[in-house]
Chains A and B, each alone.
Chain A
Amino acid sequence: KAGVTQTPRYLIKTRGQQVTLSCSPISGHRSVSWYQQTPGQGLQFLFEYFSETQRNKGNFPGRFSGRQFSNSRSEMNVSTLELGDSALYLCASSPPGLAVTYEQYFGPGTRLTVT
């Protein structure tokens, strides 16, 4: 089975622009979560989508948004980019079902640099 894939792997954007990152979960997985990793703030939860609905949301400004498609692929969008948005963005998927013990499988991440 193919793992979680994220595209693009690297991205350079200018302050004020917007960006869209994509995540394809493992086949059959319906939950997709997004995390931001920075040296200063560490790993922080952005949001989770399950069956095309946002199920959980972290403490990020409204510039950060996401969505999930019927095939479980997810995108996250950051509008009006700021220098502080430079980070590694990780996506994770989980198998179907409601059991919270299910492992989250992480993708390789998208490295976003804002200049």
Chain B
Amino acid sequence: AQTVTQSQPEMSVQEAETVTLSCTYDTSESDYYLFWYKQPPSRQMILVIRQEAYKQQNATENRFSVNFQKAAKSFSLKISDSQLGDAAMYFCAYRSGEYGNKLVFGAGTILRVKS
């Protein structure tokens, strides 16, 4: 079974600074997809960024980028120019390349942004 580990229960960052959230996963599959989701206090889950395992290039979405190290099974999220609106719980998630939409989530990292 696949597992996802987020070792940082909580992180803080100063507004306009950069922060990196860590995520490692365990799988024996070669075809899979990785995601970072954001859950603000409203509890609405929002997709931040996704990475296909077969792509070597790290995904980037505006201020959000990932460092995908397939051999190390590591998938960290970098948030640049942090904004107050980035404060939320961030979840790393794994999805098998097999048929279906099941997501395996990590425990989450609470991100606090200081003004």
Flag if B33 contacts A56 (CB, 8 Å). Answer: no
Flag if A56 contacts B50 (CB, 8 Å). Answer: no
Flag if A56 contacts B102 (CB, 8 Å). Answer: yes
B15 at the interface (CB under 8 A from A): no
Flag if A48 contacts B100 (CB, 8 Å). Answer: yes
Interface size for chain A: under 10, 10 to 19, 20 to 34, or 35 or more residues?
20 to 34
Cβ 8 A contact of B101, one of A43, A48, A108, A109: A48
Chain A binding site: helix, strand, loop or mixed by DSSP?
A: strand
In the assembled complex, the CB of A37 is this many whole angstroms from the nearest CB of chain B, namely 8
B30 at the interface (CB under 8 A from A): no
B78 at the interface (CB under 8 A from A): no
Interface residues of B in 24-60 (CB under 8 A from A): 33, 37, 42-47, 50, 52
In the assembled complex, the CB of A27 is this many whole angstroms from the nearest CB of chain B, namely 18
Interface residues of B in 84-107 (CB under 8 A from A): 91, 95-107
Flag if A98 contacts B45 (CB, 8 Å). Answer: no
Question: Provided the pairs A100-B97, A106-B45 are in contact, do residues A45 and B104 lie with their beta carbons within 8 angstroms?
Answer: yes
A108 to B47, CA, bound (A): 14
Flag if A42 contacts B107 (CB, 8 Å). Answer: yes
Cβ 8 A contact of B108, one of A42, A45, A103: A42
Flag if B44 contacts A43 (CB, 8 Å). Answer: no
In the assembled complex, the CB of A48 is this many whole angstroms from the nearest CB of chain B, namely 5
Residues of B within 8 A of A94 (CB): 101
In the assembled complex, the CB of B39 is this many whole angstroms from the nearest CB of chain A, namely 9
- Choose among B33, B44, B96, B100 the residue with the greatest number of A CB atoms under 10 Å from its CB: B100
Cβ 8 A contact of A55, one of B43, B47, B99: B99
Interface residues of A in 86-115 (CB under 8 A from B): 88, 90, 92, 94, 98, 100-104, 106, 108-109
Cβ 8 A contact of B95, one of A100, A106, A109: A100
B interface, CB within 8 angstroms of A: 33, 37, 42-47, 50, 52, 91, 95-108
